[in-house]
Structures are given as C-alpha cells and as structure tokens.
Amino acid sequence: MMNDLKTCYLCGQDLDIDVNDDHVPPKQFHGSNLRKLFNLNLLTLATHTKCNKSYEKDEVYFLNSIGPLATDTQSGRAIWIDIAKQMKREQGIRIGEKIFKEFTQHHNGVYVPNSKVLKQYDRTRISRVIWKIVRGLFFEEFNRFLPEDTPWSFEILSEDEEPPKYSYYVLNSESKGRYPGIFDYKYVESDIGNLHMWGLLFWDKIITIVYFHDPNCDCEKCTRNM
C-alpha cells in the first residue's frame, strides 16, 4: 500500500519543504549493534521536522525507562548497551538518576518478574510515544490519518499474569513487524469496524495493548464532542 506522501501523519497537514524521515518505531529502539550487524531496513514516514522533533525527548525517556526491563532478550540487551554508553555522558547521568528513582517496591507500575520489583513510569510521556507509534503504523496500514485527539487507551501487560482474555484476539493475530524480535505489532478490528485493538511488542518482552475507535466512527461516544 502506498502512503500519501503529501500528508504528515503526525499533524495531518500537507508536507512542505520542512520534511523529515521519521522512524516508526524510533530508530534508537533498535540497538545500534543490531542495526550495524543486520543492516536493518526500518520503516520511515515523512513528517514535518518540527512535528517529529517534539517527540524526541519523550522517545529517549521511553527507551531509558522501559528498555531496562528487557535486558534478558537479545534485542533488549542491544539497547541496554546503548543506554549504558549514554549514561556515561552528562545528560545520560541525569536521565539515569531519574529512572533509578522510578524503581520502587511500593507503587503501581510495570512488574519486573525476577527481582519482584515494580517499575514506575511517567504515564503521560510513555503514552505519548505509544500513541505516536500506533498513529504511524495506522497511517502505514490504512493510508489514513489518525488524529492525535482520537480517544484511546492502553495498558502494559504484566509478565507474571495471564493476559486478559480479550487481548487474545489481537495477540493471536498476524504478526506485522519487520523485525518481530525487536519490535512487533498486530491489530484487529471489530466486526462493525469501529473498534481497533492493537498489540505492540517491544524487545520481545513488553506487551502493550492499545484500544481506540476508528476516526470515522459515528457512535454516540465519538460524536458527543462534535
């Protein structure tokens, strides 16, 4: 399927001369040694540079906050090497201190099975990155713009628990990722076509389920604010 190269998938506006190739998911989510070793052919979408840039810090945060939960997989170890290198630089040290404080035994967050420790995260920043990825993949799959303000929700599945029953619809569907061991995604639409359920798998470890109604949905909930 061809993308409409004239539209920025982030803002829905026409592209002008300020065009940037945005990696979906972010390039640095693929560890640099894997990128070198396998000469990865990553998915990119054209965006305005300023649209893409506005996510940069949150993407770094996502990598540093969620990435260390996947050090027991090959692709997770690859990004850990990058994170460790980055930590030695001044900016990296600051990020590292912030992330370190997020490991706690008292709060809700992502459960780390072996250490029995919970990892907190800044839900706003994490959700911003997840939604950007889904909107990019939606644009790629359906060749349609998915507005940022579309109501949506997500959950990060805990590894020590059985995934909720409804999530099997998406978890058992066709794998769509180019390099599923690094990043994979799947999606299903409900019969009536208005509910989308997406599954994202980061570093063969962290499963996120995303729900939203199709941007064309005319159900009561979606049309209430029109």
CB burial class (10 A; 0-12, 13-18, 19+) of residue 226? exposed
Phi, psi of 152, deg, nearest 5: -155, 170
Give the nearest distance from C-beta 9 to Zn ion in angstroms.
8
Give the residue with the Cβ less far from Zn ion, 165 or 224: 224
Give the nearest distance from C-beta 10 to Zn ion in angstroms.
5
Give the nearest distance from C-beta 25 to Zn ion in angstroms.
18
Among 7, 8, 185, 210, binds Zn ion (CB under 5 A): 8
User: What's the gap between Cα 73 and its chain centre?
Assistant: 18
Are 154 and 208 in contact by the 8 Å Cβ rule? The answer is: yes
Q: Name beta bridge partners: 20.
A: 47
- 222 binds Zn ion per the rule CB under 5 A: yes
- 217 binds Zn ion per the rule CB under 5 A: yes
- 132 binds Zn ion per the rule CB under 5 A: no
With vertex at residue 176, the alpha carbon angle to CA 171 and CA 179, rounded to the nearest 5 degrees, is 110
- 219 binds Zn ion per the rule CB under 5 A: yes
Give the residue with the Cβ less far from Zn ion, 72 or 189: 189
Give the residue with the Cβ less far from Zn ion, 51 or 146: 51
Which uninterrupted H or E stretch holds 84? helix 74-87
Are 73 and 66 in contact by the 8 Å Cβ rule? The answer is: no
- Site size toward Zn ion (CB under 5 A) is 9
Give the residue with the Cβ less far from Zn ion, 83 or 133: 133
Binding residues vs Zn ion (CB under 5 A): 8, 10-11, 48, 51, 213, 217, 219, 222
